Amino acid sequence: MKRNRTALITGSAKGLGVRIAHELAAEGMDIALNYRTSAEEANKLREELIQRYDVNTLLIQGDVSRSEDAEQMVKTVIEAWNRLDILVLNAGPYIKERKKLADYKIGEWDQMIHGNLSSAFYLCRAAIPHMRRNRWGRIITIGFEKAQTAPGWMYRSAFAAAKTGLVSLTRTIALEEAEYGITANMVCPGDIVGEAKEKYITDVRGLSDPGTPVGRPGTGEDIARAITFFCSEYSDFITGTVLEVTGGKDVLNKYKLEREK
């Protein structure tokens, strides 16, 4: 990976964002860490990246679902480094409670749509002109298994609607911005939850997960490595792609199987 590339990772103080930040920093990239409320965790991660990889880092507080915050995030990166090469749209709210569409509150629907779909519009709209200027850019969005087929997902109607919309947005950006050397791809994680989001692959070697065909649990590093691949200088021929990183597990239908037990 070419050094001195800059990356803005949203929602990077916890979970998958932590492993993504480590993977990109290990490639020599300067990292802008976005957080909404987790200032302590973001500061800790910033120190880890500086000490381990000797890269420049920024901390940027902001809510991606607010257009003014999203625009300010990009502005902060440009003012500091005069370029933004990589945008990883990792932040996105998720309602853990299982509920059917008719049981959603208006505010919950808005939270899912604005946090997972509108936020991508705000950030890409702000970032793309700077990528065009340098005729190089990488945009990575995060989806879910089968998102590219617009499947039904019981109890996750708002989240699924936002993310399937994000598939189309990602592919549209890929088409519109290809002439400027900008690629846009989506990575779809499998059933990786809790502490596993921040784990390395070596942490789970030897652990058994009968519910996943490959036989082991997934980790944040599995996702981060896929994202790093899309960010490579040599991945310029890959755009508009939706890549599932699931270990072969059928995540959507696990709820149906649980009900049938």
Pairing between β-strand 182-189 and β-strand 242-245 as defined by DSSP bridges: parallel
**Domain ranges (residues) in the chain:** 6-260
Q: Are 120 and 141 in contact (CB under 8 A)?
A: yes
CATH topology of domain 6-260: Rossmann fold (3.40.50)
CA nearest neighbour of 142 among 164, 123, 175 = 164
Residue pLDDT tens, the chain, 261 long: 666 899 999 999 999 999 999 999 999 999 999 999 999 999 999 999 999 999 999 999 999 999 999 999 999 999 999 999 999 999 999 999 999 999 999 999 999 999 999 999 999 999 999 999 999 999 999 999 999 999 999 999 999 999 999 999 999 999 999 999 999 999 999 999 899 999 999 999 989 988 899 999 999 999 999 999 999 999 999 999 999 999 999 888 765 545 545
Q: Are 38 and 239 in contact (CB under 8 A)?
A: no
pTM here? 0.95
Chain centre to alpha carbon of residue 212: 22
Q: Are 139 and 182 in contact (CB under 8 A)?
A: yes
